[in-house]
Structure 1
Amino acid sequence: MPVLRHSPPLPPVMAALCALLATGCAWTPQPAQAPVAQATPAPAPVPAPAPEAVPTPAPAPSTGGNVAGQARSFSTQHATYTAVDFDTLPGWSRDDFAESWDAFRSSCGVLSKRAAAWREVCDRAGRVDGKNNNAIRGFYEREFSVYQIRDDDRSPRGVVTGYFEPEIKGSRSYSPPFIYPVYAQPEDMLFLDARAIPAGAKGTVVGEVQGRNVTIRRGLSTREMGSAGFYTLDLTGLNRDALDRRVRLRADGRRLLPYYTRAEIETKGAPNARVIAFVDNASALYEMQVQGSGRIRLPGGEMIHVGYAEQNGQPFRPTVAKASTGRPKGVRVRGSSIELEIDDDDESDIQAGVLTRGFTLARPIKSGAVAVPGQRATAPLSGSGIQDPSYVFFREVDKKAESSVGALGVPLTAGRSIAVDPRSTPLGYPVFVSTQQPNSAKPMQRLTLAQDTGGAIRGAIRADYFFGSGPDAANSARRMKQPGQMWLLLPRGLKVAASTASGVRVRGAGLGLPECLVPDEGSCVEN
């Protein structure tokens, strides 16, 4: 992952002033200033329906941190959240909420097990008529507070892209042209919690392997270090920036090393990983890895559905195509975010590279055979020519599933599920997105559910629409790269962004602020 930049310290007087300004307080929401006008002005808001026989929840008393519905604004390292009224959301009154209701209920199945505030909200959702648009809108307005997301520079504008479920031709057995393996999660992959590495520790430490987990051990005698289960681990070069704070490792003799890079997997094979299938196109396989799921059509017509299982722990560094000026097309790295610039992609750009999730990926310059355990290469081993060190492993999913399963663990809904950066937008939460349709100025404003993520999705105001599967979905997703704004719906009374007393934002940098809006062991944890 990119290295986070730090701003120089401020003079004491300025630091004190910033700390004072950053202090939050409880409040009663008031009408907020309307956001920037959209291409198509929103009509007068439809009056909210009369409440059902369901009591409006009272916000829980604040006992530290920030509470949704009480705090007017709060910040994390990557974003700032400002409370607004629902009727200021462009297109809110026109949305068809019934289209997203099933997706919301799927999120409830996960979130209700994690927080009391969500459990109560989801219980009351069970008494809402899921086909009544006014009833659903009234439910959201009673149960949630809405906050506009701004990035660490307080800008409300970001980029909205699209993704889809690709389909590749393949075979269960190795037979040219089906020579590129689709690997399942390796059995030799080990995991170390990066938070367990002693602060300031450098050089070599001792790690104890128990099952798949590695524990840092200190104070061992020479005799103990020689026992089975203990390995040396060089901390140099470890990637500790994964959102789940897990370092992926492998054992090599009595040493622990970072797990294999893409180049190593392609030129040496992955003997400890089961091959799900073999496909005929290295670029299509890489696109499926970037998308995070896909379908493999076998010669007899059978379809294998695969979903994300694991990643090799290496940073996501795609080889981006260059414009005629020689500069990378529409992407730059700033701090811990991957920022996409809106550019004018035309057919020639699309033919020159693979357009996916907002990136125009360069086609491999060379393409040779990759190593497959137990098989003789049909061409000199040179790998796929893809330079990105990251590598995604898959798992077979239920053949009866009608859609991909996202990072939240629920099936994705075409047009209503989005992939987000879980540091700023927690998985499972409702998000209202205002953007434009692919290659069009026509507004696309709707309530979505944050149910997926991905290595290419980094940034506070960053949404990736799931368009589904098939040629039409692929065409729309590849051409989706539009400016957008995002509003996050938080259950009233939910504790969020529990910053330290000294938390302050200075020129885009969050000092003493939490990294995750809502910590979650499966997607974003504090360092």
Structure 2
Amino acid sequence: MKYLIIFLVPIFLFTGCAIKEYEKYDNISKASLEKVNFYDIENFYNDDFDFALKTFQKACKKSKRFSLFEDVCEESLKAKNGRDFFISNFQPYKLIDKNGKDEGIITGYYEPLLNGSLTKDEKYKYPIYKTPKDMVMVDLSSIYPELKKYRLRGKLEGNKVVPYDSRAVLDKKDNQNLEPICYVDDKFELFLLHIQGSGKVKLTNGDIINVGYANQNGRRYTSVGKYMLKKGYLKPNNASIQGMKAFFDKNPDKVDDILNHNESYVFFRKANQGATGALGVELTAKRNLAVDRNYIPLGMPVFLSTSNPITKEQINKLMVAADTGGAIKGEIRADFFWGYGDKAFKYAGKMKEKGTLYILIPKDQLMD
């Protein structure tokens, strides 16, 4: 026993102080949470809190229906000072992944502008489809509550529900169940619209229409970028949207084969506003994130620490989770909304940066 004590004491001395305790609030986030103070968050106090407050108030138009934000959304309407509001009403927690790490990947997205026409011709021949008339959704949550987050999408064949058509099949179809909103002139730009989930189409008469996410075919999302890297079509130093576009411009015969690797297909609706996230509010450039709802609820204020993909300058902003995405999965994973236009496209296409996320949980939800 004497020798055992001598052996254990140094271990305690050198490692005991390094052990961190994490908290769990499974009803809010499935991630491990490290409680911090606002002054522990680098550059937190340098942000524009009044603008952050306006973004949060906009989200409250929809998020106030969630019990998590009901009271704090009411408080936001009375707030005169953004900094005081967030510090008084929220407790920050740093997200920690299953490996105990506090850094994850932050990508970017934007609202694309496509050129289109209401009628199909040789130039405008790629349709933006509405939700198919023959697609059915199966909701089993009333029988199996554990499946409440899942919706099965398919179609009827006889008396059976079968998976809905893949991207490859839908691209070749032209039947009564598929109604186009309009037609566009670039297949890769249309694919990017599917990835982004919403966008604008400039018609031949000069009008601009907004299109937003309506539904999806139920097929699993698969990264085309990773597939192109694996096949050697892209190199790591040009694995970006811009790199993909350059490859397709030089190799138009490979477009279908590569894009069909991702069987997921998105359907749209005409919208009366610009890019709208899963929360249901119009997105604010550089203030909204797409997240994994298992770890960050929609409507949640999130302080992001990452870097600009081109200038490498630090980005430290208090943002609001207002969207989701098929590729946005994981505890420390987010998609930064850059806005609309060519400049937003430039940043979003190149963004794949390391980042740290802090969620701000309303204090009234932490009371015993």
Query: For the superposition of Structure 1 and Structure 2, which TM-score range results when normalised by the shorter chain?
Result: 0.7 to 0.9
What is the distance in 1 between the residues matched to 2:175 and 2:354?
Answer: 41
Q: 1:385 to 1:431 in 2, by over 3 A?
A: closer
What is the distance in 2 between the residues matched to 1:495 and 1:257?
Answer: 44
More helix by proportion, 1 or 2? 2
Aligned partner of residue 254 in structure 2, secondary structure: coil
Percent identical among aligned pairs is: 32
Aligned partner of residue 79 in structure 1, secondary structure: strand
Cα offset for 1:472?
Answer: 0.8
Aligned partner of residue 303 in structure 2, secondary structure: strand
The counterpart of 2:254, out of the listed 339, 342, 366, is: 366
Q: Is the 8 A contact 1:364 1:385 kept in 2?
A: no
The counterpart of 1:157, out of the listed 99, 103, 106, is: 103
Name 1:469's counterpart in structure 2: 340
Name 2:264's counterpart in structure 1: 390
Please list, as runs of the form range in 1=range in 2, the aligned pairs for 1:311-460 lying within 5 A after superposition.
311-320=216-225, 344-345=237-238, 352-354=243-245, 365-367=253-255, 386-398=260-272, 401=273, 403-460=274-331
Cα offset for 1:419?
Answer: 0.7
Question: Is 1:108 equivalent to 2:60 in the alignment?
Answer: yes
What is the distance in 2 between the residues matched to 1:140 and 1:329?
Answer: 44
- Please list the CA deviations of residues 155-185 of structure 1 after superposition, one character each: whole Å capped at 9, or x if unmatched: 1001111111001111101111111110011
Q: 1:279 to 1:420 in 2, by over 3 A?
A: same
Question: Is 1:480 equivalent to 2:351 in the alignment?
Answer: yes
Name 1:74's counterpart in structure 2: 24
Name 2:47's counterpart in structure 1: 95
TM-score with structure 2 length normalisation? Answer: 0.85
The counterpart of 1:299, out of the listed 200, 204, 227, is: 204
The counterpart of 1:490, out of the listed 343, 357, 361, is: 361
What is the distance in 2 between the residues matched to 1:393 and 1:102?
Answer: 31
Structure 2 unpaired stretches of 5+: 1-17
- Please list the CA deviations of residues 364-384 of structure 1 after superposition, one character each: whole Å capped at 9, or x if unmatched: 75357xxxxxxxxxxxxxx88
Name 1:30's counterpart in structure 2: none
What is the distance in 2 between the residues matched to 1:350 and 1:312?
Answer: 23
Q: Is the 8 A contact 1:321 1:328 kept in 2?
A: no
Q: 1:364 to 1:406 in 2, by over 3 A?
A: farther
Name 1:516's counterpart in structure 2: none
Aligned partner of residue 126 in structure 1, secondary structure: helix
AA in 1 matched with 2:86: Y
AA in 2 matched with 1:123: E
Aligned partner of residue 331 in structure 2, secondary structure: coil
- Please list the CA deviations of residues 170-201 of structure 1 after superposition, one character each: whole Å capped at 9, or x if unmatched: 110111111111001112221112556779xx
Q: Is the 8 A contact 1:320 1:328 kept in 2?
A: no
What is the distance in 1 between the residues matched to 2:93 and 2:137?
Answer: 36
Cα offset for 1:152?
Answer: 1.4
Q: Is the 8 A contact 1:145 1:489 kept in 2?
A: yes
Name 1:176's counterpart in structure 2: 122
RMSD: 3.1
AA in 1 matched with 2:288: S
Cα offset for 1:324?
Answer: 7.7
- Please list the CA deviations of residues 318-376 of structure 1 after superposition, one character each: whole Å capped at 9, or x if unmatched: 3225688867979xxxxxxxxxxxx6448xx6654149xxxx9x9775357xxxxxxxx
Q: Is the 8 A contact 1:170 1:296 kept in 2?
A: yes
Name 1:193's counterpart in structure 2: 139
TM-score with structure 1 length normalisation? Answer: 0.60
